[in-house]
Amino acid sequence: MTTWNITQHGAVGDGKTDCTKAFSAAIEAASKAGGGRVDVPPGAYLTGPIIFRSDIELNVQRGATVMFSRNYDDYPMVVTDYEGEPTVRCISPLWAENLQNISITGEGIFDGQGEAWRPVKKFKMSEQQWSQLIASGGFVEEGRKMWWPTAAAYEGDRTIEKLNKISPMRVETFKHVRDFLRPNLLKFTNCRGVRLEGPTFRNSAAWNVHLLLCEDVVMRNVTILNPWFSTNGDGLDLDACRNATISHSLFDCGDDAICIKSGKDEPGRIRGRACENITVENCTVLHGHGGVTVGSEMSGGVRNLHVRNCIFKGTDIGLRFKSTRGRGGTVENIDISNIVMSDIRHEAISLNLYYWVKGEPKPEPVSERTPIFRDFHMRNITCERAKAAIEIRGLPEMPIDNITIENVRMTAETGATIIDATNVTLSSVHLKCEKSPALRCNNVENLRLDRFEGAGPLDGLAGGLVGDL
């Protein structure tokens, strides 16, 4: 493979010199030659966005750090997709569209310098951190006790929903709120043959690694880091992708760590692209809102997801599946095995169709807006210290269906709660709970218990079950 070194195109690894043109020239030279490897040697390289071409491997060597510019003007605005809906954002520091055979390799670091973009909630910081943040400048929203890097970023938060409804969607319409349009660190869209192997991605402005409509993805030995207080600091978002394997990687994030998505509400249903044939194995999550999460943007569907041999320590939720009325879409054929969890702040396992619902939800007839969860099989799972062991909560009009959970041992404050579900099997499930009952049920049809053991009596069964135990 022919190699091009960015220093031969003018890059200087002093952390101060703008290397944007050097990255572009090296990638252009490799592309004109039919593809090849672009090398980043040890050093600190300051740059604007890096735009990929087909058949390019960007190799960032150990000891090299690519630092992305904190200057908003270095990031052109583009019509794109964020959180499952069309919108305008600043272009991502690592950007690719409609390409094939692209790779990022090596043991170097990509630093998004996201603190220049991100808002911060006061409750997530100590008093000293908050005081230092305010002293640095920016704009404080007193009502929500939130810090923004600029007043324009705050204004964007207040007006983005209205702007997203203006048709046709034009970049010019969003110019006055550019500061709000923080980019994902890496965004590859509609690419085939994607390989991420070895590097660290850290400190993103929004999501860290976002793969949208990509096929044949391999991610191995990657580290993804964000401060735990980082707003929208997802680790990896696989969004309407096909045929992906994520393995031997470490996540420590400010939001969900490994996220499986497929679009939100009507736009996701119209696109109709499922996230499918996904394997997550031998990964570790140290912090995050969820270890492995599906949803809540899953309107195009998620199917054939395999998760095995993973460790979650200190996440808010371990295995997290979330949706709500309005999403539509089907999540099905989920196979999970050999999971070790500890110090989970909320539920170790959560299947919840009431995500982000406040107050008493209004019932709806079944329609394209109705989400469906079915065919989940989980086995060989342990958890030490969780707030709650298991939550399965469907909708009255669409119960969660065909759930098997077997060979599970957990210690938790509370046990299992099952509401609006059918065909649920708990086999060799041992829950050591601080509070009884170990199992609560409401409107559960065909619940099968085989060697279920809990700290308290099986309470809440009367009137809540249809069929025999």
Q: What positions carry a catalytic annotation? A: 255, 289
Please identify which residue in the block is written with the tokens 């790779």. Answer: 103
CB proximity list for 265: less than 8 A, separation 6 or greater: 84, 85, 299, 326, 327, 328, 369
H/E stretch holding 134: helix 127-135
Residue 268 and residue 261: Cα distance in Å, rounded?
A: 10
Q: What distances in angstroms separate CA 124 from CA 116, 127, 448, 466, one per listed residue?
A: 17, 10, 42, 44
Q: What is the DSSP track for 66-131?
A: EEE---GGGS-EEEEEETTEEEEEEPPSEEEES-EEEEEESS-EEE--GGGT--EEGGGS-HHHHH
Are 96 and 189 spatial neighbours (Cβ–Cβ below 8 Å)? yes
User: Which residue in the block uniquely carries the two structure tokens 């890096």?
Assistant: 50
| Strand 146-148, strand 120-121: pairing | antiparallel
Gap between the Cα atoms of 262 and 275, Å rounded? 6
Instruction: Give the separation between CA 386 and CA 349, rounded to whole angstroms.
Output: 10
How many residues does this entry show for the chain? 469
256: three-class secondary structure by DSSP: coil
On whether the CB atoms of residues 202 and 111 are closer than 8 A, the answer is yes
Question: Which tokens belong to 361?
Answer: 């939800």
Measured between alpha carbons, how far apart are the two ends of the chain, in Å? 63
The CA distance from 455 to 143, in Å, is 44
State the Cα–Cα distance between residues 359 and 379, nearest whole angstrom. 34
